[in-house]
Amino acid sequence: MTSLEMAKKIAGILDSKRATDLSVLEIGKVTSLGDYFVVASAGSTTQVKALADEVDMQLSKAGFEPKRIEGYQTSTWILMDYYDVMVHIFNEETREFYALDRLWADAPRIDISDVIVEE
């Protein structure tokens, strides 16, 4: 699985569990941290944990384990590091405060309309 395929798979998993404001940023063109950021929001710390748990479970089933997971205890911002793909799951207030999308405005956004279910 390529890093783009993984980023899109993660976006699809998050969408299926009702994450909001999903975006995939191609950071590999502006930094050596990795290839993609997947960024999502949730309405509560409980939902932040549930989203992280679902990503972890689904990717584990597919044979992918994270290098590390940070922020699980407070669950206002959970970072899941899948080597070339970093997953950021925020509660809404924390996402607004840190404004990751603005900080990485130079990173191209990836079209994820093929993995997002419109309601």
What pLDDT, on a 0 to 100 scale, did the predictor assign at position 101? 86
What pLDDT, on a 0 to 100 scale, did the predictor assign at position 34? 93
Q: Is 12 exposed, middle or buried (0-12, 13-18, 19+ CB in 10 A)?
A: middle
What pLDDT, on a 0 to 100 scale, did the predictor assign at position 118? 65
- What DSSP character marks residue 109? B
Ranges of residues in the chain whose predicted pLDDT is under 70: 118-119
The helices-and-strands tally (H runs, E runs) of the chain is 4, 5
What pLDDT, on a 0 to 100 scale, did the predictor assign at position 19? 96
What's the whole-model pTM score?
0.94
What pLDDT, on a 0 to 100 scale, did the predictor assign at position 6? 97
- Asked if 70 and 52 touch (Cβ cutoff 8 Å), the reply is no
What pLDDT, on a 0 to 100 scale, did the predictor assign at position 91? 96
DSSP for 46-71, please give it.
HHHHHHHHHHHHHHHHTT---SEEE-
Walk me through the domains of the chain, giving residue ranges and CATH numbers: 3-103 (3.30.460.10)
What pLDDT, on a 0 to 100 scale, did the predictor assign at position 62? 95
Q: Collapsing DSSP states into helix, strand and coil, what is residue 13?
A: helix
